[in-house]
Structure 1
Amino acid sequence: MESNKVTKPKRITVLGNFSGRNAGDNAILGNLLEDFSRVYPDIEFIVPTLNAGFVRAAFGQYRIRALGMMPWNGALKIFGLPTLRAMLATDLVLITDNILFDRAFFNPAFNYLSTISMIAPLCRRRNIPLVLYNASVGPITSRRGERALQKVLDAGPVGILRDTISREHMLELGLRCPEFIEGADCALNTTVPDEKHIDSIMDRLFPQRSPRKIIGLNINAYLSSWQGGKAKGAASDFTSIVANAVNRLRAESDADLMIFVTQVMDHGITDELRKKLQGGDQIPVVANPEFSYNEIAGLLSRVDMLIGMRTHAQILAVSVGTPVVNINSYPKTLAFLKTIGMGRWSIDVGDLSDSSFYELTREAWQCRSETREKLIPEVQREREKARSAVEVVGRILNGAQVRAASG
């Protein structure tokens, strides 16, 4: 039997959005580092980031080297010298999350695929594998995007995908990869703080009482940008529909409400929604970066059901057994829910109405105990898939055949 041990110290570059602004991205990096370090403690991780100070402070217990991607570092976000150095002065590159799409292709402030695809052929010539690591891909909507993604796939022996929709999308486009392996999102393995710590936070959030039932709520600013313009009306219409349904559900269920903001950019639309919720100024808000992703997961474990939009707000919720209702504004979110058999509890932003949204949330609330029972084994299976990706990468670092690891 082949040893899993990496035969000599290695460096791995990890590409993703690791600025600290998004609790989901923080959870991806934190769990990736933990999963690898348990098995391969000698690996050094190179992490290009817009906030090197955050990465060092949050993940300094691991062997990491944070590379700044600011203008004074010779970079315009991902485009620049830090990414070039990180991808060429390493033994392997991991591409995480969902950063390979072709929207705003020539805008490095938004698009990662254009830059990665330019460097990928250089990695290939230097025998530096590029591995999609528990990642999603797409949407790819142009020939330019197809060509760029193929360059990335050509530079690696395997793509480890966290959902089946990404694989289907690439196969439909005729893109080639030596092998696709079924993985899962790293954030599913998030550990929560001890109960006493979460109790102390709950006491601060609800100083007057201990709530018996709690509805969690999370929204984001993506209303039409990923829906092909299908969202109806303005943000004010959207927040009114959500508020009307949530107010009605709270009244009928006699439940408290807790709002979760996992991405800093969502505070504006969350504030607008909060003004329309009954007793909005009294509703506690759990926000990144005030709370770590571990604490957010711990607080989500105290919620009976989450109505959410952000993918990783929902991933953190189900990781602790909390059922979710998805307001779908982004392809990867529904893809994840379908992977764990929860696609039923989703409604597209473009299909929202007072009646449709309320009926879905009411039914989900009534079925929450049954949903939780179904959720737990599905999530455990996904956790194991996420961690198994470490072994695949270890084999690549040792020059072994990937197929033997996945078969």
Structure 2
Amino acid sequence: MDTLAAKKIVISGYYGFDNSGDEAVLQSILLALEEQGRQQGIRFIPVVLSANPVKTSQTYGVEAVHRMSPGAMLRAIRSADGLISGGGSLLQDATGAKTIPYYLGVLKLAQWLGKPTFIYSQGIGPVYRGMFFGWIRSVFNRCCLVSVRDTESKQLLLNMKVSSEIIVVPDPVMGMPLSEGEQGQIEPLPTDKPIIGISVRYWNQDRSELKALAEAVSTILKQTDAHIRFLPFHLPSDEEASNVIKAQLGSQHDDRISISHGAAHPQQMLAEVGRCDLLIGMRLHSLIYAASQQVPMLGISYDPKIDQFLNRLDMLAVAHTTAIHNETGASIVAEAVKLLEQRSKWQADKQPLIEHLKNEAQTPAKQIALFFNKGRDHH
């Protein structure tokens, strides 16, 4: 009997921070590696670098070590067959100057130890500090696979003179299946009315985007009989942002507004999004979940990655946080009402694009499995 070849693979990313989007990326990569590995006769044994190794280990049933413990990381990488730098916007310096050196450092460590390294569907940029260009180039040119989640990321790497082949693939989360058990895990809703899911985050200092959104939601409540369901993706801050809007709506609609609690596992949040009739989202992964579940959506952009994803579905953002005010609020309302009425038309229009993204989402895992299959001894 042909036993599967075991390959230990370290996965580096923004994991263990209670960010539903990044946790979904991890879950999707783990499922894709399992499926694609099986097809190539390989059993991947993942070791995840996490900010909360105990929780990561319990949630996904994998080995995890602390992402800031040099000793544990060194031991994990040294004993591994390869390293994946996985998913999400890891190589950007918008949130600070330490992010890029950390993720490149992990890759470089693996390369020093002679391990094959793989870039798994990353969003690259923005990179404001020119000094990072050379670092990214030298590390990426030594990778066995460079896959990015949009053409803009590819263009940025080409501008940095990265000479490795760069393939553009969808975000890994597009390929995440809805698990059978999770629908039963989410709290029932006290309504048979249409459900509008809303995923918001803090962005503008003056909270102007939340104020404009609250006004839009208030109008939607007047014009439709929908139930508003807030879906916090990054805890606790998204829950606070949701409560800011809820407070502005006053108490007269309390029975028509709810906030999702405890959808900690990505597939629970996927099930939450899946039962919405419409989703209005600021978080990238709220939009990706909606697409994967064929839920019509309106994206509010605070970052080019939102526009880039919508672009792949031939859509534009309904508003941008830089310029969200009463006029945009009115267009959010108009679009929301329209999409609720024309839900099935939207689904029919977008189905081919969504299916294409879903099929392509496992490409990096497939390539990694093929890489290890080629390296096997076929006697």
TM band (smaller chain): 0.7 to 0.9
1:297 has 2:270 as partner? yes
The alignment yields a C-alpha RMSD, in angstroms, of 2.5
| Deviation of 1:104 (Å) | 5.3
- Aligned pair in 2 of structure 1 residues 345, 115: CA closer, same or farther (>3 Å)? closer
Structure 1 partner of 2:82: 92
Amino acid at match of 1:248: T
1:285 has 2:227 as partner? no
- Aligned pair in 2 of structure 1 residues 184, 121: CA closer, same or farther (>3 Å)? same
Structure 2 partner of 1:226: none
> Residues 27 and 187 of structure 1 are in contact (CA less than 8 Å); yes or no, is this contact kept in structure 2?
yes
- Aligned pair in 2 of structure 1 residues 91, 177: CA closer, same or farther (>3 Å)? farther
1:260 has 2:250 as partner? no
1:143-199 deviation digits (Å, cap 9, x = unpaired): 12212211321220331112111112222x23313211121122122332559x747
Task: Please list, as runs of the form range in 1=range in 2, the aligned pairs for 1:359-398 lying within 5 A after superposition.
Answer: 359-367=331-339, 368-369=342-343, 370-398=345-373
Amino acid at match of 1:246: V
Number of residue pairs the alignment of both structures matches: 363
| Deviation of 1:200 (Å) | 7.7
Choose from 147, 150, 157 the match for 1:160: 147
1:17 has 2:14 as partner? yes
Choose from 205, 209, 212 the match for 1:241: 212
TM-score by length of 2: 0.87
| Deviation of 1:291 (Å) | 4.3
- Aligned pair in 2 of structure 1 residues 200, 16: CA closer, same or farther (>3 Å)? closer
Ranges in structure 2 where 5+ consecutive residues have no aligned partner: none
SS for the counterpart of 2:260 is strand
Q: What is the alpha-carbon distance in structure 2 between the residues aligned to residue 105 and residue 152 of structure 1?
A: 20
Ranges in structure 1 where 5+ consecutive residues have no aligned partner: 224-232, 401-407
- Aligned pair in 2 of structure 1 residues 359, 398: CA closer, same or farther (>3 Å)? same
TM-score by length of 1: 0.81
Structure 1 partner of 2:164: 178
| Deviation of 1:252 (Å) | 0.9
Q: What is the alpha-carbon distance in structure 1 between the residues aligned to residue 113 and residue 374 of structure 2?
A: 14
Choose from 67, 73, 79 the match for 1:69: 67
| Percent identical | 20
- Aligned pair in 2 of structure 1 residues 137, 82: CA closer, same or farther (>3 Å)? farther
- Aligned pair in 2 of structure 1 residues 215, 104: CA closer, same or farther (>3 Å)? closer
1:151 has 2:125 as partner? no
Structure 2 partner of 1:53: 54
Q: What is the alpha-carbon distance in structure 1 between the residues aligned to residue 27 and residue 50 of structure 2?
A: 14
- Aligned pair in 2 of structure 1 residues 85, 357: CA closer, same or farther (>3 Å)? farther
Q: What is the alpha-carbon distance in structure 1 between the residues aligned to residue 334 and residue 34 of structure 2?
A: 43
- Aligned pair in 2 of structure 1 residues 213, 384: CA closer, same or farther (>3 Å)? same
Q: Runs (4+) of structure 1 moved beyond 6 Å?
A: none
- Aligned pair in 2 of structure 1 residues 66, 38: CA closer, same or farther (>3 Å)? same
> Residues 136 and 332 of structure 1 are in contact (CA less than 8 Å); yes or no, is this contact kept in structure 2?
yes
- Aligned pair in 2 of structure 1 residues 316, 363: CA closer, same or farther (>3 Å)? same
1:38 has 2:42 as partner? no
| Deviation of 1:349 (Å) | 0.4
- Aligned pair in 2 of structure 1 residues 365, 15: CA closer, same or farther (>3 Å)? farther
